[in-house]
């Protein structure tokens, strides 16, 4: 059964059962994953998955159900369950099916060049990278999670108000954890690259970066526990911002779970902080021309010189706050319901490079990665206490790695205590980006 036949029959039967407005969201993804271990292909996976999500208004509530099996039995399953789900719902603010905007940005986020890279080319590159990693430094003993993944996702949205939207996106990313050993001590470093141009992949350069990162943690220095000035390197800054990104959602605020509730128009950060959401960036994971409700997306300034100008909205949260939607309705996949999430959300870069930030530091700590982000933070209060790796800086130079440390602080206080914003904005394999940040200080405890 193809998706259009499925939709027609579903809407027909749905309307007979009493659904007022209905939507079918369709997603088809083709995926390739390979993993390499010591020169051999250790994992090889290909996949082709299709799924659809149905939602419809019944007795003034929006009922949801999804299926991965496109057949007659699923049509019945979707209608019966969406109907029963709508019947138990008690939401005060009801979702609606949207008839669509008159204009959508004409931009494609799909790369034919990336799609045409063959399996053989991908595996050969990974094997070459594997060789280079071991050749770069004799202290390399192993790799872990050494994988390449390419994904092509086609999405479509059809509703009974006549809206019909389609989108096609693809990406290719590889990662490796390099494990190094010296004097019986094992350390590891992570390296991830999102490929935008296959012609520019360079195994030697990638291997060098990956190995450098791992080796940089060998032979840690003994350092005292205290309050240090801290540089959050861009990757650490990004992962921290990512953890607190739901705070900027109007949905979270309306649920009473965000400190930014009723802060629109107020200063929430230092003058040097600008937060932007841009749905139109090429080669970014969060790019989109329409959101999960079919609303045309726009670039948005969320924080301007420290002032919160808006929260992120979908149509339901916007209606409740009496504002216009910002086009941030989101659905993780056809398995989810519509909520609120950013497109590509980032801290605007400043002028100093990472190296300049380090040079300007008398004594302090560079934090290069954070662990335990799903458990060691209180997303509501902003408090965090996290395991971290990093370097000790003295006289403007990195002296060496520190032992495993914990850093503790508060995200909202931190936004007001950034002394310098770096110029090195990076996104990594995520839709949240940040440059390196020089912080006034954090309390640091070493293992």
Partner 1 sequence: MLNQALVQDVIHEALTTGGDFAEVFVEDTFKDSLLLQGGRIDKSLSGRDFGVGIRVYNGFHSAYTYTTDFSREGLLKTARHAAQAINGNTQVNVQPFQHEQAPVIHEINQLPQSVEKARKVNVMKNAADIAGNYHDSISQVRVNLLDEEQNVLIANSDGKFVEDKRVHSRMSIAAIASNEHDMETGFYGPGAVQGFEFFENLDLNHYAKEAARIAVTNLGADPCPSGKFPVIIDNEFGGVIFHEACGHGLEATSVAKGKSAFANKVGEQVAPDIVTYIDDGTIPNEWGSINVDDEGNKPQKNVLIENGILKGYLVDQLNGRIMDTEPTGSGRRESYRYAPTSRMTNTYIAPGESTPEEIIANTEHGIYARYMGGGSVNPATGDYNFAINEAYLVKNGKIDKPVRGATLIGNGPKTLQTVDMVGNNLGHGAGMCGSLSGSIPVNVGQPTLRVSEITVGGRKEDA
Contacting residues toward partner 1, per CB under 8 A: 37, 40-41, 43-51, 63-69, 74, 77, 81-82, 84-92, 142, 144, 177, 179, 186-188, 225, 255-257, 259, 335-337, 371-372, 374-376, 378, 380-381, 383, 385-387, 404-409, 443, 445, 447
Total number of residues shown for the chain: 447
Q: Burial of 299 by CB count in 10 Å (0-12 exposed, 13-18 middle, 19+ buried)?
A: middle
Q: How far is the CB of 306 from partner 1 (least distance, A)?
A: 22
- Report residue 324: phi and psi, to 5°: -90, 145
Sheet of strand 432-433, all strands in order from the earlier edge strand to the far edge: 307-308, 300-304, 275-277, 345-347, 432-433
Q: How far is the CB of 185 from partner 1 (least distance, A)?
A: 9
Q: How far is the CB of 95 from partner 1 (least distance, A)?
A: 11
Asked whether 191 and 176 are in contact (CB, 8 A), the reply is yes
Q: How far is the CB of 318 from partner 1 (least distance, A)?
A: 18
Between residues 106 and 138, which has the closer beta carbon with respect to partner 1? 138
Between residues 92 and 262, which has the closer beta carbon with respect to partner 1? 92
- Report residue 371: phi and psi, to 5°: -125, 155
DSSP state string for 302-318: EEETTEE---B--HHHH
Between residues 207 and 379, which has the closer beta carbon with respect to partner 1? 379
Q: Which H or E run includes 358? A: helix 354-359
- Report residue 18: phi and psi, to 5°: 110, 10
Structure tokens given for 354: 């990472």
Between residues 9 and 397, which has the closer beta carbon with respect to partner 1? 9
Between residues 283 and 371, which has the closer beta carbon with respect to partner 1? 371
Q: Burial of 232 by CB count in 10 Å (0-12 exposed, 13-18 middle, 19+ buried)?
A: buried
Strand ranges, E, within 395-436: 397-401, 405-410, 418-421, 432-433
Between residues 135 and 141, which has the closer beta carbon with respect to partner 1? 141
Q: How far is the CB of 369 from partner 1 (least distance, A)?
A: 10
Asked whether 343 and 278 are in contact (CB, 8 A), the reply is yes
Q: How far is the CB of 403 from partner 1 (least distance, A)?
A: 9
Between residues 229 and 336, which has the closer beta carbon with respect to partner 1? 336
Q: How far is the CB of 123 from partner 1 (least distance, A)?
A: 9
Q: How far is the CB of 427 from partner 1 (least distance, A)?
A: 22
> How many Å apart are CA 93 and CA 372, to the nearest integer?
35
Between residues 81 and 212, which has the closer beta carbon with respect to partner 1? 81
Long-range contacts of 66-73 (CB under 8 A, 24+ apart): 66/334, 66/335, 70/1, 70/2, 70/3, 70/6, 71/1, 72/1
């Amino acid at each position: 059964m193809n998706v259009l036949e499925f939709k027609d029959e579903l809407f027909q039967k749905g309307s007979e059962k009493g659904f007022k407005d209905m939507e079918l969201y369709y997603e088809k993804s083709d995926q390739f994953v390979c993993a390499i271990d010591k020169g051999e292909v250790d994992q090889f996976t290909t996949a082709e998955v299709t799924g659809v999500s149905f939602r419809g208004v019944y007795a003034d509530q929006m009922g949801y159900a999804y299926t991965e099996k496109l057949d007659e039995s699923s049509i019945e399953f979707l209608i019966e369950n969406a109907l029963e789900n709508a019947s138990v719902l008690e939401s005060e603010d009801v979702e609606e099916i949207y008839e669509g905007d008159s204009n959508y940005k004409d931009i494609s986020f799909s790369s034919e060049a990336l799609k045409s890279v063959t399996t053989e080319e991908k595996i050969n590159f990974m094997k070459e990278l594997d060789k280079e990693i071991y050749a770069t430094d004799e202290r390399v003993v192993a790799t872990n999670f050494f994988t390449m993944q390419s994904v092509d996702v086609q999405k479509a949205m059809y509703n009974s108000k006549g809206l019909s939207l389609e989108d096609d996106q693809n990406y290719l990313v590889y990662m490796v954890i390099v494990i190094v050993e010296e004097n019986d001590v094992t350390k590891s470093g992570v390296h991830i690259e999102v490929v935008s141009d296959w012609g520019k992949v360079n195994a030697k350069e990638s291997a060098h970066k990956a190995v450098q990162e791992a080796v940089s943690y060998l032979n840690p220095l003994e350092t005292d526990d205290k309050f240090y000035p801290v540089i959050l390197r861009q990757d650490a800054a990004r992962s921290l911002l990512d953890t607190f990104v739901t705070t900027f959602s109007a949905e979270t605020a309306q649920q009473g779970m965000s400190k930014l509730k009723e802060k629109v128009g107020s200063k929430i950060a230092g003058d040097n902080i600008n937060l932007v959401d841009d749905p139109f960036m090429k080669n970014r994971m969060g790019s989109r021309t329409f959101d999960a409700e079919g609303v045309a997306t726009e670039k948005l300034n969320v924080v301007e010189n420290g002032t919160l100008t808006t929260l992120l909205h979908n149509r339901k949260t916007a209606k409740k706050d009496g504002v216009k939607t910002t086009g941030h309705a989101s659905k993780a996949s056809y398995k989810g319901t519509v909520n609120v999430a950013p497109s590509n959300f980032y801290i605007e870069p400043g002028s100093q490079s990472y190296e300049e930030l380090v040079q300007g530091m008398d004594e302090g700590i560079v934090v290069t990665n954070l662990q335990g982000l799903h458990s060691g933070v209180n997303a509501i209060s902003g408090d965090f206490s996290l395991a971290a790796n990093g370097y000790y800086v003295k006289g403007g130079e990195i002296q060496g790695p520190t032992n495993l440390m914990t850093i503790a602080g508060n995200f909202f206080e931190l936004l007001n205590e950034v002394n310098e914003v770096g110029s090195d904005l990076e996104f990594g394999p995520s839709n949240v980006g940040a440059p390196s940040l020089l912080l006034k200080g954090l309390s640091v405890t070493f293992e």
